[in-house]
Amino acid sequence: MTRFGATILDAEGLRLSAAEKAFFRDANPFGFILFARNIDTPDQVRALCDEMRESVGRDAPITVDQEGGRVQRLRGPVWTEWTPPLDFVKAVGASASQAMYLRYRLIAAELLAVGIDSNCAPMLDVAGAETHPFLRNRCYGSDPGTIAVLGRAAADGMLAGGVLPVMKHIPGHGRSTLDTHFELPLVTAARAALSGSDFAPFRELRDLPMGMTAHLVFSGIDDRPATLSPVMMQVIRDDIGFDGLLMTDDLGMKALQGERADLAARALKAGCDVVLHCNAPLAERCAVADAAGEMSDAAQARAERALAARRQPDDIDIPALQAQLGTLLNGA
């Protein structure tokens, strides 16, 4: 088995440049991630995914943020436009679990059709009164038990459609009053309160193949951002019990300060398995890949388990599922 590079990387445009192809061949990232700038037509997305996989010589996972609502890289009119998750959950009422399954089964079908086989969802963050607007309507609710049920339904829908889910933002982002794209939030709640609430949905879904960290400081546990904290990694592995592949949130977000290559090394040393690095010049991507190196033995084993969770999609009638979902929405 090839030892993967401990990175998930992106591309600058709609197709790979010659320099990017050479870089990916040498860096051998575990996988790739797409953004809106990489999306035009179905044929173009398929061709880009093919190029990414050809560059590393294997069926590497390709992920995207397709939550629905504001965070949705593949958009209408070509792809389905979804309402934000929180609005969607409120709209379907008592049928939320069934509707979430259908929503993410249909999302999986659209993704897999263009070569994307992973999605950065479900989002298991617990919404609160002070949750920052950048996050709030992306949440599934404010009750940890309900969030776990809806997150499971979303994950099951994606898995049935041949798409690997990435639960986020572990161990919980809901208490953030700041946007981590620009600032580093501080959460002062005690560990016991966090364990009973914020951590709970992740504990319920700890069997999922992949998870993404949160760039938050939990001051009652450690003074470092969770992504860079060995103490928080122990919380994720021991308290929450997650032993799947753990990727960082984007190292380029301004919540983390410092050189990106140094941040990559710190995240891996803390206990992350793979670093997600996005929206940077090629030189910086090269520096991050060099700093990250190859996966550790433990990370490689988790990566192989995650890839083994990929399955052939079940046979569905897409118009029938769309009609079923429409009935739930109209009935509510």
- 31-41 per-position pLDDT tens digit: 999 999 999 99
pLDDT of residue 19: 98
The verdict on pTM exceeding 0.85 is yes
Share of the chain above pLDDT 70, in %: 99
Q: Does domain 5-331 have CATH number 3.10.20.30?
A: no
Is residue 49 within 8 A of residue 56, CB to CB? The reply is no
Instruction: Determine whether 325 is exposed, middle or buried from the number of CB atoms within 10 Å of its CB (0-12, 13-18, 19+).
Output: buried
pLDDT of residue 212: 98
Active-site residue numbers? 181, 249
271 against 179, higher pLDDT: 271
pLDDT of residue 2: 79
Residue 1 has pLDDT above 70, yes or no: no
pLDDT of residue 332: 63
Rounded to an integer, what distance in angstroms lies between the CA atom of residue 16 and that of residue 21? 6
Name the residue type at position 36.
Answer: A
Residue 331 has pLDDT above 90, yes or no: no
pLDDT digits (tens, 9 = 90+) for 100-158: 999 999 999 999 999 999 999 999 999 998 899 989 999 999 999 999 999 999 999 99
Residue 282 has pLDDT above 80, yes or no: yes
Name the residue type at position 240.
Answer: I
pLDDT of residue 184: 94
Residue 189 has pLDDT above 80, yes or no: yes
Listed residue (46, 64, 57) closest to 21, CA to CA: 57
Residue 229 has pLDDT above 70, yes or no: yes
Is residue 122 within 8 A of residue 129, CB to CB? The reply is no
Residue 221 has pLDDT above 70, yes or no: yes
- What is the phi/psi pair of residue 214, to 5°? -110, 135
pLDDT confidence band for 4 (50 / 70 / 90):
very high
pLDDT confidence band for 300 (50 / 70 / 90):
very high
